[in-house]
Structure 1
Amino acid sequence: MTQVEDEVVLAVRRHAAAEVPWDAARERAYAAATPLPPRRLPLADSIGCVLATALVSPVAVPPVDRSAMDGYAVRGAGPWVVVGAVLAGSGLAEPLRDGQAYAIVTGAAVPAGTTAVLPDEHATRAGEKVGGSIEVGRHIRRAGEECAAGELLLPAGTLITPQLIGLAATLGLNRLAVTPKPRVLALITGDELTHHGPSSPGRTRDAIGPMLPTLITSSGAVEAAVQQLPDSREALVGALVSADAEVILVSGSSASGPADHLRSVLAELGAELIVDGVACRPGHPQALARFPDGRLVVGLPGNPLAALTAVLTLGVAVIRRLRGERLDVLPVAPVPGGLACHPRSTRLVPVRVGPHGAVPVGHGGSAMLRGAAEADAFAVLDPGPAEAIAARLLPLDPGVRPWGV
């Protein structure tokens, strides 16, 4: 070998020795981030965030006994004389006496002394009298039935869904204390990339840039921007210094080629390199660094499937922590027929999950997205000398939370 070839081999070996096991890389990425400071947001702006503090009911729900049916609030044994009507929003009626009834609608406050609500469909009315069979306490929503004042309803870290927003409104809340969504900026490097039309000799259509925005938002973050950069050290330095986001994804500059400037630029800017390569296939050149101001940089390989792997490995773990969420625990599924393991690295294989387990779809090379487009998960195969007959499942859509989480 020539001296240059020897240096390349040594560099590859050093990089391989520095690679972090796949599970450890996820854990390091999660630990590297700190949840963003809480904010109080209007209900509509809270969707998709998580609760920064536990949701505690300030009031009892319902605040008074309410009718659960349209019908008659009655007292005592029937038949009953109808002495009035109670409409929703009309406030409290006079207490009932034995043998009396009020016509009532669903949600209206039942008068004091009500024995039960007789539904319209079970009532027989003749003039001012109504009859029917009742069960004591039936069709009355009691005060505090859903929750009592001061009751803890949901813990901090709960994902805010439309249903949770509805519950908060029921409690009379207009704002929620949330951990806000982190902002993610994507930098796509590569002089060879074209952004319109097909690839050609010497030019490659960018597939990573169009893929990242949805991955970012599905992960629970806000896409700050996707910027295209030339293979220029100066351009990369400028973009990293000016990046106004908690997370910066850098695609195509994380390997060790002559146009891959990311690691040296990070060192120049004083960033701490937390992950320098991950022992997985595809996606091993990925990296994670943290600037002194707390901003996190995720280095993505230039091949599309490898870049997807890096986003799901390091990027999602970082975003989960910034959002104040737990790191996903991956479910296990059988692999009919088995899949070959790599002797030293974790394999991530595109699979389709069905009633019989995870079935590989093929086309899983680092430069290919055909398999991932057909799949709904990666089968995560731990290193080993043989075939795996079961595997953990890493959803390809970060918004899909694995069972058991």
Structure 2
Amino acid sequence: MRWQDAWAIARDSAKPLAGQLLPVEAAGGRVLAGAVRCERPVPAFDNAAMDGFAVAGPGPWTISGRVLAGAVTGGTMRPGSAVEIATGALVPEGVEAVLPYEDCVVEDDTVTGTVGPRRHIRRAGDSLAVGAPVVPAGRIVTATVAAAIVQAGVGNVLVHRPPAVTLLVTGDEVISEGVPGPGQVRDTFTGLVTAVAARAGGVPAERHRLPDDRALMRDALAAASGDVIVVSGSSSAGAADHLHELLTADGATWLVRGVACRPGHPQALAVLPDGRWVVSLPGNPYAGLVAALTLLEPLLAALAGRPAAALPTLPVTGNPKLMPGGVRIVPVTADGSLVAAGAVGLHAAAAADYLAVLADDWTPGAPAPLLRVP
């Protein structure tokens, strides 16, 4: 399958998970499943837009008190009276304007000045009236979004449930800690998959390390609790690669089964009859990173409710070896410079900002799609 088609299938095949109602404070990073409307006018009350004097009727005005932010005043101001007032303070009844300090003169308890066309009063609902839209569905609840929602008097929001991710790290040679012995390698997938999942709106559910055993793999797939099961290794057709056989036997629907790219060719995407998704990552760490960015990240973003978006592009410079009939995926810096021209691995990706997807007809300096390095 063409790389572009595989990425698009992962992005477009899944629907957002169901919504759940959460307090705004607990919804950070989630995606709104419904629009948020104002429940309390913004501003919630008439308040001073400047420090100065709130005046009633024609001047000069006699100062009768002071109102600071947070204070509640009673009664109605009589014409000819004034109160010193702070920005944001509740404007008493009867006030017609706020005279900024710089626009008035104070002598003893009397204020004189001219009320101009600007009254320097923010009226209740000037920014948002009750029922007005605050934030549309599909927006990620960032700190700014949450602040706007709270300001509008909304306490709970409907957000999509984040997809739970189960990771199965396979391979007799893989160890989780310590110094690898002869023929052993450290697990590099747990951190990468966790980071990619978090960036896409997913949450880790469980993680298991499995030897190359068919029965253990079968049991782990059956017991996995996540919405998405990520399997590192066991992605090819060798004697120790059991994943494809087991998924086919379970009646999985294959959406992607091999991609015309280097590295990362043996990546795959399937959906089980019960609706759980399976993402197969090649056991080579750099190829696994490519596959995670190609299939896992767009799939999780879709399940989390994030709007589909095209990949960014950037002119790329350098002379990498291209892949006839497919794409070569190479690490580049933020200015589009190739990090390494020869064989690459995680060390090259660690020095890069993006992985650039170079088609077989790409020429140096031409733009290319970018995958952001986690």
Normalised by the length of structure 1, the TM-score is 0.86
- 1:301 equivalent to 2:278? Answer no
- 1:394 equivalent to 2:340? Answer no
Residue of structure 1 in register with 2:309 after alignment = 328
Closer, same or farther: CA 253–133 of 1 in aligned 2, 3 Å: farther
Gaps of 5+ in 2: none
Query: Residue 333 of structure 1 aligns to a residue in which SS?
Result: strand
2:14 alignment partner AA: A
8 Å CA contact 1:305–1:365 kept in 2: the answer is no
Residue of structure 1 in register with 2:328 after alignment = 347
Residue of structure 2 in register with 1:360 after alignment = 338
8 Å CA contact 2:134–2:148 kept in 1: the answer is no
Residue of structure 1 in register with 2:24 after alignment = 43
Residue of structure 1 in register with 2:350 after alignment = 373
8 Å CA contact 1:50–1:157 kept in 2: the answer is yes
**Larger deviation: 294-303 or 103-112?**
103-112
Which one of the candidate residues 112, 126, 130 is aligned to 1:131? 112
8 Å CA contact 2:231–2:280 kept in 1: the answer is yes
2:313 alignment partner AA: V
CA distance in 2, matches of 1:234, 1:270: 17
CA distance in 2, matches of 1:97, 1:64: 20
Query: Residue 169 of structure 2 aligns to a residue in which SS?
Result: strand
In the TM superposition, 1:193-342 aligns within 5 A as 193-337=174-318, 339-342=320-323
The Cα of 1:182 is off from its aligned counterpart by: 1.0
Q: RMSD value over aligned CA atoms? A: 2.1
CA distance in 1, matches of 2:70, 2:363: 70
In the TM superposition, 1:18-57 aligns within 5 A as 20-57=1-38
CA distance in 1, matches of 2:320, 2:137: 40
Residue of structure 1 in register with 2:136 after alignment = 155
Query: Residue 337 of structure 2 aligns to a residue in which SS?
Result: strand
Closer, same or farther: CA 181–165 of 1 in aligned 2, 3 Å: same
CA distance in 2, matches of 1:352, 1:270: 42
8 Å CA contact 1:75–1:115 kept in 2: the answer is yes
2:41 alignment partner AA: A
The Cα of 1:110 is off from its aligned counterpart by: 1.3
Alignment size in residue pairs: 374
Closer, same or farther: CA 387–69 of 1 in aligned 2, 3 Å: closer
Closer, same or farther: CA 189–253 of 1 in aligned 2, 3 Å: same
2:228 alignment partner AA: V
The Cα of 1:104 is off from its aligned counterpart by: 1.9
Query: Residue 215 of structure 1 aligns to a residue in which SS?
Result: helix
Query: Residue 176 of structure 1 aligns to a residue in which SS?
Result: strand
The Cα of 1:79 is off from its aligned counterpart by: 3.2
Gaps of 5+ in 1: 1-19, 398-405
CA distance in 2, matches of 1:364, 1:269: 40
Query: Residue 380 of structure 1 aligns to a residue in which SS?
Result: strand
Closer, same or farther: CA 317–324 of 1 in aligned 2, 3 Å: same
Instruction: Give CA-to-partner distance per residue, 1:128-150, whole Å, 9 cap, x none.
Output: 21234543334321221221211
Closer, same or farther: CA 326–365 of 1 in aligned 2, 3 Å: farther
1:156 alignment partner AA: A
The Cα of 1:166 is off from its aligned counterpart by: 1.3
CA distance in 1, matches of 2:34, 2:295: 26
Instruction: Give CA-to-partner distance per residue, 1:349-399, whole Å, 9 cap, x none.
Output: 111013xxx011117746x200111111111212327556221222113xx
Which one of the candidate residues 161, 178, 186 is aligned to 2:167? 186
Closer, same or farther: CA 118–93 of 1 in aligned 2, 3 Å: farther
8 Å CA contact 1:52–1:156 kept in 2: the answer is yes
CA distance in 1, matches of 2:59, 2:328: 74
**Larger deviation: 276-285 or 78-87?**
78-87
In the TM superposition, 1:111-126 aligns within 5 A as 111-120=92-101, 123-126=104-107
8 Å CA contact 1:347–1:380 kept in 2: the answer is yes
